[in-house]
Structure 1
């Protein structure tokens, strides 16, 4: 799995480049946008069937914005982190032919389980990668359309701080003081005709 990812890393660098999605904050500090999910044509029925609700589109902010010195990287989603296997102690190794047969069977089963788990983890990581990348892009589209308000960032710049054994110059402190919020005020919405209908980002409809 790791070797396969390494073989295609140039293509993955292009396909999953978060650089255009990052927001400026201050200097080398940037903001990783919130993740917004979208559900279309949602239908909900009460248990007794006496009430129903049909919704054309549902937006949810599922991950808050964060400050970062770098951009996300697909490797943190897809490349597994693991320790090399260790040899079993001599006291646990098979001593008879019967034990050796059972040992080989269990090793084969464990290897197969590990391969299956690796595939499942890769699929989960790929799903999370696509969800975050599309969700950040969706946030930027909704921000441009006026359907979401951006996070609020407080900045404090201190020219000189400290003294004695520790002094800092040009110290800028950033804090996210308010998260992004979906905006239900339709009067502030703006058309986004450049977004194709039915795409992963979706269109904004008044």
Structure 2
């Protein structure tokens, strides 16, 4: 019976703890700061300008339209405000994030100053597969799959491209949909507050999804390096070609060189060829 040799458990635990700690830290609510997006109170107190025509007045459709406008206004405001807060929090962890998610150390040098980014390998545990007719099933302790193949790059990935987002100033609804009466103002404040909470939650969900994607890609590349060291997956093969002088007409390239990945990484199913992982 062959002993399955897996990539370092300590590395897996380290990445999991790091991702969890960063996620918890980023989701802290910050105190109010200067130059942040418009606060909830300002969105709630907006009113229709004087002298506006009575279009939609007295109709149920006006109440429904105001509600939709208030919910949308509040949601956009909450999304913008929470995104702003999260980006401020991310900036505090710039050094730590750059150290933990250092994609440069995972790249492989290639000819002509190019770099090869390793594949991203996913891992699932206790995978069960049942045939459509239900007469056969298979279960595996672990299943590895190449989610993204190796590719040629000129620079390493930047973790900031995963989670940094811009926040936008929130434009108010058209004037005809702004509250005019005390009753409308009370409803407006309530609906804007509801929308604000939804936008706030949406910003947290977007950030968590972005952070999960960052951790997944980085962990997948680390997993590839560990499996490669154990002989469980092959390295991608790149072919370099010196093409000399190419082009003509309006453009000519001198010392033109090309690099192309001709052999993608593949798993090694023969367990006898694997080597033990360092513990």
TM range (shorter): 0.7 to 0.9
Q: 2:226 aligns with which of 136, 141, 158?
A: 141
Q: Mean Cα displacement is larger for which, 51-60 or 2-11?
A: 51-60
The answer to whether the aligner puts 1:69 opposite 2:158 as a matched pair is: no
Matches within 5 A, 1:20-169: 20-43=105-128, 52-169=137-254
Cα distance, 1:95 vs structure 2: 2.4
Deviations 1:9-54 (A, max 9, x none): 1111111111111112233321221111122334556799875534
Aligned to 2:267: 182
Aligned-CA RMSD value: 2.4
Cα distance, 1:184 vs structure 2: 0.9
Unaligned runs of 5+ in 1: 197-206
Which structure has the bigger radius of gyration?
A: 2
Q: Is the 8 A contact 2:112 2:257 kept in 1?
A: no
Structure 1 residues 87, 164: closer, same or farther in 2, change over 3 A?
same
Q: Distance in 2 between matches of 1:92 and 1:122?
A: 31
- Larger RCO (CA within 8 A; separation ≥ 6): 2
- Identify the structure with the greater helix proportion: 2
- Identify the structure with the greater strand proportion: 1
Aligned residues: 194
TM-score (norm 1): 0.81
Q: Distance in 1 between matches of 2:114 and 2:192?
A: 48
Cα distance, 1:136 vs structure 2: 0.4
The answer to whether the aligner puts 1:6 opposite 2:107 as a matched pair is: no
Aligned to 1:202: none
Unaligned runs of 5+ in 2: 1-85
Deviations 1:112-154 (A, max 9, x none): 1111111111211221111111110111111122111222323
What SS does the aligned partner of 2:165 have?
coil
Q: Mean Cα displacement is larger for which, 86-95 or 6-15?
A: 86-95
